[in-house]
Structure 1
Amino acid sequence: MSNVNFLLALKIGITGYLVLIGILFLFYILLTGFVKFFTRSDSNGSKKGEGKSSE
């Protein structure tokens, strides 16, 4: 009986650990994507701002 409970707890623990790794990996991808997007928009915005100031 305790062997079944141990295997069930082990299965739940491994599943939870893999889900946690997956969530952190997706969060890392989204975070780097947002950083790249905002740096591109900032560089484009600064170029547009320089163009407007020179006119």
Structure 2
Amino acid sequence: MEKFAKVKEVLASVEADAEKFYNGGNNAAGTRVRKAMQDLKNLAQEIRAEVTEKKNSAK
């Protein structure tokens, strides 16, 4: 559950940069958004692995 909380934290932290990139044309903010999205992808993969492991161990 702590990784899920981390996903929410990363999303909240990147929101301002997404606004700057999409509405302000700030390319540096776009780079930060891309990095955050990569971090989210990695976190999501870790969560998927944990869920699969927990699901399979319950059988």
- TM-score range normalised by the length of the shorter chain: 0.5 to 0.7
Equivalent residue for 2:34, pick from 15, 21, 25: 21
User: For the aligned residues, what is the CA RMSD?
Assistant: 1.3
Gaps of 5+ in 2: 1-24
Q: Does 1:33 align with 2:56?
A: no
Residue type of the alignment partner of 2:40 = F
Deviating beyond 2 angstroms after TM superposition, the runs of 4 or more aligned structure 1 residues are none
CA distance in structure 2 between the aligned counterparts of 1:45 and 1:13, rounded to whole angstroms:
48
Count of residue pairs the alignment pairs up: 35
CA distance in structure 2 between the aligned counterparts of 1:29 and 1:15, rounded to whole angstroms:
22
Q: Percent identity?
A: 6
Shift of 1:13: 1.9
